[in-house]
Chains A and B, each alone.
Chain A
Amino acid sequence: MRFILQRLGFYLLAAWAALTLNFFLPRLMPGDPATALFARFRGQLRPEAMQALREAFGLTPEPLLGQYITYLGHVLRGDFGVSVAYFPSPVSTIIGTGLLWTMFLAGTAVAVSFVLGTLLGVAAAWWRGGWMDTLLPPALALLGAFPYFWLAMVALYVFGFQLAWFPLGHAYADDLTPGMNLPFLASVLRHAALPVGTVVVATLGGWMLSMRNTMVSVLGSDYVNLARAKGLPPSRVVLRYAARNALLPSVTGFGMALGFVLGGSLLTEIVFSYPGQGYLLLQAVQSQDYPLMQGIFLVITLAVLGANWLVDIAYLWLDPRTREGS
């Protein structure tokens, strides 16, 4: 329990750091942020949009500390200001629609890649020297060296454009209304196959190699030899005795990989015009919609921090030593 609270404290601190960073970002621009911002938007924005922008950044005549407190108050209420490109929609509404899609895409990709890569690693370590052990790791390392979004472009060209096995973009067919019905869910899966597939292909090698290496040293340890000498069935030795312990370093890496994969999947979304945060982020960058950009950064960061905390809880369940320590 103490461990969980300790980690929660750390993530709250990290969240505060991200908030503060976010507050100072507009103030990084050379010169006075208000003037610089308004110079960029001169003639493009109505006065009321300008006023909203000013309020969103807390660019009021108050002293800096006062601005900071006003800003924190806004964020805590879930108010990220008003979007410039989609004026007058609030940023939180725009982000809300895309967040689920991003979490679905990145979450599925990380989970599939982790499970598949770990199983491949277990298999490679058990049949050491087989083709899975010798040919697969370098091949996956080469695939992992391609930029995610480039793999996405190639997959889109080959499987979407040439072979027409999968749709070319978006999250579901345009003629369907979202709901818990079979055609809609099937359409979502079909649209997610390519984006998820490319991220999985790019990240599989890392999980496989780390699991394989830990697994090999765990398989050589005395307690596994004893389990085998007792005549336990191989599946039990591999999965219950060896794999559970060999999983620990991978789980530690899981939290960190989450943020990294999410970043990559944002770029993948752009290639597939997938209506998630990445696509929104690109639009925000192109239309210089700073409030939307910052809102997306904050929401993504908070999602990653939350997911990391869940991973910590899973670690606690996997490794009894952390439980006894607390």
Chain B
Amino acid sequence: MTAPASRRSTGARAWLDAIRRDRKASVGALILVLFALLAVVGPLLVGDPTALVAVPLEPPSSAHWLGTTGQGQDVLAQTVVGTRVSLLIGFAVGIVVVLVGSLVGVTAGYFGGRVDGMLSLLFNVFLVIPGLPLAIVLAAYLPSGPLTVAAVLVFTGWAWNARVVRGQTLSLRRRDFVLASVVSGESSLRIITREILPNMTSLLVAQVIGSSVYAIGALVGLEFLGLGDVSSVTWGTNLYWASNDSALLTGAWWTYVPTGVCVALVGFGLVMLNSGFDEITNPRLQMERAWRAHLAAAGQPASRSTPVVVRDG
């Protein structure tokens, strides 16, 4: 076994251990694993989500656990099948957003000077232009489909990431080990890929999680407006049809409550996982953990003057 491979496996194990130690992170991870299972296996267990199986707008019963839609489709089947597509697009967009944002952010932070000036201006402009209206107009112009929606979400979502990565690159750029590589004549590409990016892995993982939260929320919003492919079954289109079949005015809560709860649970799981990561990887919070341990050893409770942000548990 080669050394790098074994190091990588211990790295992954260290992450898993860290997740297990932190209660928030474990709750988040558990929720996400359940939804991943649902997305992979679920569609095999339920019937065809588009089949007209019963009377429209039937409340939950033993035959249809979550009732039927305004067209007589099974809500449970629609919710489960929608999970697969929505999570797939959501996470794919989250990853691409971070790729694009990191590329811009690292370039700006590493090369500095005029390059930094131009790129920083670009992402700062993108940050102040409201994303959702722009996404709506863009999606309305382009041919509708999942790829369009994904591209639109990347276009309106990369800027925050670029800003965060640029800041981190700026601080790493001044560290001794990076300066040493520069002096020893290594190429910029090698320094960026071998010295800088590996040192912000935890930041990038956190960014992927955060960007996925954004992507899933925005995706559901755009599809709710009918800007996705309304004939496909996703969480957003489920809500679109619920609203179009006037579920609200007929009191058919079961047509939109399950989907909304799913969206929220995934979002909540991702946020919990991220705040758990933050407590593991953020040096400021690590310092506070040390404070807490010190106080516990001295048998003193934290007072108002102790700068402890995180509590146990």
Contacts and interface: CB of A to CB of B under 8 A. Distances in A.
Interface in A226-275: 228, 255-256, 259-260, 262-264, 266-267, 270-271
A147 B221 contact: yes
A141 interface: yes
Interface string B213-255: 1000100110011110000000000010001000011010100
Contact of B311 (A129, A217, A266, A301): A129
Contact of A153 (B127, B248, B272): B248
Given A301-B130, A304-B130, A308-B128, A145 B142 contact: no
A11 to B, nearest CB: 7
Contacts of B221: 147, 149, 263-264, 267
A13 B124 CA distance: 11
Given A150-B263, A213-B309, A286-B226, A145 B271 contact: yes
A161 B140 contact: no
A299 B140 CA distance: 18
Interface in B266-284: 266-268, 271-272
A291 to B, nearest CB: 11
A128 B304 contact: yes
Interface stretch (B100-108, B131-139, B169-177): B131-139
Contact of A154 (B128, B260, B306): B260
Contacts of B167: none
Nearest to B218: A263
Contact of A288 (B140, B225, B259, B264): B140
A28 B266 CA distance: 34
The contact size tier of chain B is 35 or more
Main secondary structure of the interface of A (DSSP, over half): helix
Nearest to A162: B251
Interface in A1-57: 10-11, 13-14, 17-18, 21, 25-26, 28-30
A142 B129 contact: no
B201 interface: no
Contact of A217 (B137, B248, B266, B309): B309
B145 interface: no
Nearest to A214: B309
Contact of B128 (A133, A228, A304): A304
Given A145-B267, A264-B132, A285-B226, A220 B125 contact: no
A97 to B, nearest CB: 18
B260 A293 contact: no
Contacts of B256: 150, 153
A72 interface: no
A290 B143 CA distance: 14
Interface string A104-132: 00000000000000000000001011000
B308 interface: yes
A10 B311 contact: no
B224 A267 contact: yes
A301 B133 contact: yes
A297 interface: yes
B138 to A, nearest CB: 7
Contact of A145 (B249, B259, B265, B302): B265
B121 interface: yes
B257 interface: yes
A211 B259 CA distance: 32
A146 B264 contact: yes
Given A147-B221, A147-B263, A267-B224, A219 B304 contact: yes
Interface of B: 121, 124-125, 127-134, 136-138, 140-143, 213, 217, 220-221, 224-227, 239, 243, 248-249, 251, 253, 256-257, 259-260, 263-268, 271-272, 302, 304-309, 311
Interface of A: 10-11, 13-14, 17-18, 21, 25-26, 28-30, 126, 128-129, 133-134, 141-142, 144-147, 149-150, 153-154, 156-157, 161-162, 213, 216-217, 219-221, 224-225, 228, 255-256, 259-260, 262-264, 266-267, 270-271, 281-282, 285-286, 288, 290, 293-294, 296-297, 300-301, 304-305, 308
Given A30-B143, A216-B307, A220-B307, 12 more contacts: A11-B128, A17-B125, A28-B138, A128-B302, A147-B264, A150-B263, A154-B257, A157-B248, A157-B251, A267-B132, A267-B224, A293-B136
17 contacts: A14-B124, A14-B125, A25-B138, A142-B264, A145-B213, A145-B264, A145-B266, A150-B239, A153-B256, A219-B304, A228-B305, A255-B128, A260-B130, A262-B133, A263-B221, A297-B136, A301-B130
A-B residue pairs, 8 tightest by C-beta: A263-B132, A220-B307, A145-B267, A259-B130, A150-B260, A145-B268, A146-B264, A145-B264
